[in-house]
Amino acid sequence: MPRRTAAVLAVALCAALAPAMPLAAAAQNRPAPLSDARNAAASASSPDLDLAKSEAQWIDRDTVALPAGGAAAVSARLVYDRDGGITVKDGALGSEGRWLRLSKAAGGLTDAQLARFPQLKEYDAYTVDPRDRDRVGDALKSQLILTRRIADGALVTATGVQTAGVLDDLYAQKAGKASLGPAFTKSGVALSVWAPTAQSVAVDLAGRTVAMRRDAATGVWSVKGPRSWQGKQYRYAVKVWAPSVQKVVTNKVTDPYSTALTADSERSLVVDLDAKSLAPSGWSALKKPKAVPLRDAQIQELHIRDFSIEDRTAKHPGTYLAFTDKDSKGSEHLRELAKAGTSYVHLLPAFDIATIPEKKSEQTSPDCDLNSFGAASDRQQECVGKSAAKDAYNWGYDPYHYTVPEGSYATDPDGTARTVEFREMVKSLNGDGLRVVMDVVYNHTAASGQARTSVLDRIVPGYYQRLMADGSVATSTCCANTAPENAMMGKLVVDSIVTWAKEYKVDGFRFDLMGHHPKANILAVRKALDALTVAKDGVDGKKIILYGEGWNFGEVADDARFVQATQKNMAGTGIATFSDRARDAVRGGSPFDADPGVQGFASGLYTDPNSSKANGTEAEQKARLLHYQDLIKVGLTGNLAAYTFTGSDGRKVKGADVDYNGAPAGYADAPGDALAYADAHDNESLYDALTYKLPASTAPADRSRMQVLALATAALSQGPALSQAGTDLLRSKSLDRNSFDSGDWFNAIHWDCRDGNGFGRGLPPAADNKDKWPYATPLLTSVPAAKCADIEGTSAAYRDLLKIRTTEAAFGLATAGQVQEKLSFPLSGKDETPGVITMRLGDLVVVFNATPKTQEQRVGAVVGTSYRLHPVQAAGADPVVKSASYDAGSGTFQVPARTVAVFTR
């Protein structure tokens, strides 16, 4: 069950797991090397015999790698036993079964092997004896141990063996072309599962056992049956050696390529997604809203349950069908955003989720009168916490089955209603003028090993999960990491995405922790989508957008195992990554600050200081604010690495020269490489962050203006922008920084301003917020409630900015060269006004005034040129911005306090 805290590293935390293990290099998990004959005796007297570890790695059919050392060892073997009878007793193996002889390769791993497995650069290489290679397949279906002995025959090493590399070498080329899961033809259906290490596989089909046949070339087990199998329940019975429990097991497990499920994912269903009965009316002829290029995308990030669960006007609260309730407040608001320029709704995970009971009869809810407690009471979070594990709420970053819609959002989780209703949702959103993005989470699973919700690891143990040097499952995402660098996990990612695109007509995909994927895997997704055509597949795959979290951390950091899909590596690919640079500068500090009062550009740093000592001296605040303004300028260019401008120190700099916590601020090659945002589901909402950071005495109307100003830094940037749904309505989660499991009470969106904005619903849950309670308590009791005028005014002003952004072509420049030519910051340099950014963009001038005072910005280059306030703002909802003015004689723009004004020639 992940807890999401996507800050600088966007590390996904898992409530169901212990804290993540230290992120160690392979060398830190190796046994100490044996050096020459001097250590031979010690090695013999204290051998390293741990069969529960897997420190050897079988990387191809000919080669096994082992941590360097053991110079005194004179022989090595791969020992295997089909029945799992190898044990250690009294410093020796109780049984050695059969074996494959190994010889140490004098030259170590080859350059080609190291290119594939760079993390093994300090490993010794052993070659499988050609005389034994006919038994490789048998060994892989068995308990498998690598042993080393010294000259007198004493055992010095016995360890398990990681086999992902050799499985790819033996099977991946042909298995990669296999059709897995249920596949229908006119005459029947085939069920296929990749299980190359299984000793046997059968399908438990509607209560009877049907044998399956193994293809030796692919490792795929399959069975064919009549179309009467349609709708029947099934699971696979996989007999396999399971290292996690050190025995041979027969796992009854659902299909990782499931297309439909029974309630709570107990059984897979044989379902043809092309069946007419599963298509809503008009599905085959669905007309999409006009495709918007990624560089122009304006995205609303939305959780399905949040959208409607407390909307009294919704007929189907908390479900897919809520999006078909055209007269609901939520649907009306989405249509207003679409009219203003929002082009995509980004749905938080909607695939099958492991931690939500799908049957409503089994879901719990808080048994307290939550409304009766005070604004800063700890009773709400306590009550919500008691039911959290079994309530209907979770963000959903805990995948169970990747390619089936989540059942708890369906009116009936048992069967195919979820398929039909998901399609109804997509169809309805498209009809409202919005394309649909899915948040996908292929970088980890909810569980591994023999856990109930572990699917992949119970079919091919040790393959789909990424393993550390000792054979343990990597948990840098704080869940069980997957290994998309392994061919069949990479195939699963591509196949699953293509299914969502073809069968559910999804218009885009956001990859969670995309930096944990190889760049090659994400590019393979792009290639597969690009091959989809309307004539052949019913969708134009080239118009499907892709973006993700390109954070660089964990066991894969700095391309340690492969070239990652990180911010810097994805530049130029047409696949965007979230940019945290301007986000932090706009809000102030980082989401991990001990004191949440650290201010930024849109929260009053230097120009409207709060009482936090963490902000430093006045001089330090000014210097930091000016640097933040450089970061925001880079963000406004689309985070371009090569964009040149005058920095706050007066020097000419490139975007890549501006420092962001020791990394280059600019990393993009073209507009569209970086996605701008001021808030998302992770960390405090924008309103809550500003509540922590603005002076406590700030009036609600001024909080509203700073909210708009913060949103404007993303909406008016080059490239795509995202905001959390409800942020334009001052959405609050009562200061909860991590609401992944905080229930409807803290998460629901309030579309009707008379219901407030969610602020003051009690102290946020203790698990992730208790250390902030001393800061939160006085704010929850003293900050005045936002009124309808504040809430509706914020939304209307934001929509005005969206209209400007999506109707003025200058905000959607296609190349870095065009941005350099048309966009400038004429007042940058040592004399720049702290708290004010002036941007010239073609025929437009935009002034961001984050200060509490009216500001004048004189731009010498436009003296004599006629400018006026943009007609959208001049006729818009914000009365304050209408007082903005321009004097052509002096080239001076005058902008009211806490205001973004757009001027046009």
d(CA 423, CA 418): 8
Which of these, 34, 313, 61, 297, lies nearest to 170 by C-alpha position? 61
Which residue, chain included where needed, has tokens 């650069």? 121
Q: Contact 70/35 with Cβ under 8 angstroms?
A: no
DSSP symbol at 835: T
d(CA 348, CA 336): 21
User: What burial class does residue 348 get, using C-beta atoms within 10 Å of its C-beta: 0-12 exposed, 13-18 middle, 19+ buried?
Assistant: buried
Which residue, chain included where needed, has tokens 């986000």? 583
570 three-class SS: helix
d(CA 57, CA 126): 10
SS3 track for 620-634: HHHHHHHHHHHHHHH
Q: 5-21: string of b/e by CB count within 10 Å (b at 16+)?
A: bbbbbbbbbbbbbeebe
Q: Which of 124, 169, 549, 682 is catalytic?
A: 549
Q: What share of the chain is helix, strand, coil (3-state, %, to 5)?
A: 35, 25, 45
504 membership: H or E segment, kind and range: helix 487-504
AA letter at 342: T
d(CA 231, CA 268): 9
For the chain, counts of helices (H) and of strands (E): 24, 45
Rg (CA), the chain: 29
AA letter at 534: V
187, 325, 547, 789, 824 from 581: Cα distances, Å = 56, 38, 17, 32, 19
Q: Which long-range contacts (CB under 8 A, 24 or more apart) does 243-248 make?
A: 243/52, 243/54, 243/160, 243/461, 243/462, 243/471, 244/448, 244/449, 244/450, 244/457, 244/461, 245/449, 245/450, 246/51, 246/52, 246/84, 246/143, 247/84, 248/82, 248/83, 248/84, 248/143, 248/199
Residue-by-residue DSSP string for 639-697? SBSS-EEE-TTSSEEEGGGSEETTEES--BSSTTSEEEES--SSSS-HHHHHHHHS-TT
**Residues contacting residue 881 through CB under 8 Å, at least 6 positions apart:** 797, 869, 873, 895, 896, 899, 900, 901
**Residues contacting residue 605 through CB under 8 Å, at least 6 positions apart:** 588, 599, 615, 621, 624, 625, 628, 835
Enter the tokens of residue 790. 């504040």
Q: 855-890: string of b/e by CB count within 10 Å (b at 16+)?
A: bebebeebeeeebebbebbeebbbebbeebbbeeee
286, 567, 569 from 573: Cα distances, Å = 29, 11, 9
The full length of the chain comes to 905
Q: Contact 392/356 with Cβ under 8 angstroms?
A: yes
Q: Contact 437/508 with Cβ under 8 angstroms?
A: yes
* 512 in active site: yes
Give residue 719's region: left, alpha or beta (phi > 0; psi -120 to 50).
Answer: left
* 549 in active site: yes
d(CA 851, CA 346): 33
d(CA 791, CA 732): 11
Q: Contact 686/711 with Cβ under 8 angstroms?
A: yes
Q: Which of 60, 325, 512, 682 is catalytic?
A: 512
Kindly list the catalytic residues: 512, 549
